[in-house]
Structure 1
């Protein structure tokens, strides 16, 4: 973290104080760019480790590879949970996927923990099969069928486990890759001891494994619904909608569509102001080798109504990531405004 960020974090803590029952603080992976410390008791993590380790098939023999800042609670939680079980963590500060693959092969890694952004980088650089991988654990960022199929080819022995969680609430739901393929858009069913319900399209979670200062039933304002089999179908965060002259476009749904196009490796959408329609959007894309952007635009114009066409589609070699391994949309907006 840079000096300015650390100094602002210190000012916030000095002004707001520390929750009385807290043992440590964590930072959210939000999009504001400002520090937001959240406070936890040790037991709110420790008492959930055995539950999550059972779901993720983590034990004393586990060798897990992960990459990312420990300020991201997903990474720090996973590291401590694996060590709690007696397993081994393999990591590196290197951003080079070739280095990740080298470590995975050298240490005969059997688990990978990564968000889809990192998995896409792995897929693009992996030239041979990795037979040692038994499980890939991924957060419920935008996932697509093509990525799943690519991972199955590279890691033929792996089982995919998708989870949905929140910094404030720990892990909430999970499912296997097969369940996700059968119900595209699901983030699974609740972890043991966790209960979910939907009210007016908003997800409410009941769990005792949460940060200090919030009730046992709480919402982070994520939207979705529960199907008849108890699977949570995820529709994104409240506000993840572009109002284009009265026509509503879901950002997660549009990103999923663009991601599914043949030749598109990665995609991110940013919302921009529009003098006529009020709001519009721009799509940034990383394309696979030999894919022409003009062909992608042609497909979009053929398959989608004109009101759903991005104002611009910009090709870049790599999407910028935050410390938390999520797409840095603030950086993309800066690039667009400067351009």
Structure 2
């Protein structure tokens, strides 16, 4: 798909632009100065244990700023990047083993694919770096099985603001829902449930203290507890259902490999939701539905639960909920 970027409106201080799909699904440029990335590379590389000996595997489009940032940061350190255009997880495993890869950079959607299809242990992996999509204890335990030598590092960031917070897998297991504490030189604050970030490593045209309207709070130990994007709530006839919390619950059910909650329009209640699920081979959808009806109040039951073989992903490796909604409306 061709994308024409207008040259007017480019800040004079910008050295280059990076593409992001954001929440609209349409590529848009974010303008940056060179130092807004390069001056942060050493900071993030220290947190992620990246150096000249690093061999990192990643998969995804450069329209995802996280991928482009990571590639350049690894090359900046003198390390090696291993990648492929193939969407076959068994191909990923082959490359990891062939090149003795020691780092994996991926969102949880890709890690779940790797877990489902990996046939052997990946002994060379020392670190897995993952973005802060919905994470669950089952995935963490599965990763520990196939990558027995790995340390898990979860980060929270935004295309407009670079990396914001991070934590280890051990810290996450102790505080499920956290996305960690701030990177060095980054400050976070919460006001009326909205997260504000103070950093100089941001895109051009925004102030040093800025919010992307993500929601959460800071606990007594300084850990950021993440509640999703503002408006990421289903208003079902006045009953509010946070989408991240519902996805986390559904993901935790025995037999559920992947899940996505999609908001739909309802003639009576205004809004409702459907759940798309990828199930493990031995799981039965009828039993999962029965369990949900037993454990949750009826107002929190999905209008429909649909089983599919694989969740569609955007170029940014995030679940393509726009496509899922189209599938439901056409059905």
Give the TM interval when normalised to the shorter protein. Answer: over 0.9
Greater alpha carbon shift after TM alignment, 26-35 vs 325-334: 26-35
* 1:121 and 2:113 are equivalent in the alignment: yes
* 1:1-339 mapped onto 2 (5 Å cutoff): 2-3=1-2, 6=3, 9-10=4-5, 13-14=6-7, 16-339=8-331
Partner of 2:316, secondary structure, is coil
Number of matched residues? 331
Q: Could you list the structure 1 runs, at least 4 aligned residues long, displaced by more than 4 angstroms after superposition.
A: none
Contact 2:13 2:204 in 1 (8 A): yes
Superposition deviation, residue 136 in structure 1 = 0.1
Contact 2:27 2:63 in 1 (8 A): no
**Which 5+ residue runs of structure 1 have no aligned equivalent?**
none
Instruction: Quote the Cα distance in structure 2 between the aligned partners of 1:35 and 1:146.
Output: 33
Partner of 1:124, secondary structure, is helix
Superposition deviation, residue 71 in structure 1 = 1.2
- What root-mean-square deviation, in Å, do the aligned CA atoms of Structure 1 and Structure 2 show? 0.8
Superposition deviation, residue 262 in structure 1 = 0.6
Q: TM-score, normalised by structure 2?
A: 0.99
Instruction: Quote the Cα distance in structure 2 between the aligned partners of 1:31 and 1:327.
Output: 11
Deviations 1:5-25 (A, max 9, x none): x1xx43xx24x5211111111
Instruction: Quote the Cα distance in structure 1 between the aligned partners of 2:273 and 2:282.
Output: 26
Q: TM-score, normalised by structure 1?
A: 0.97
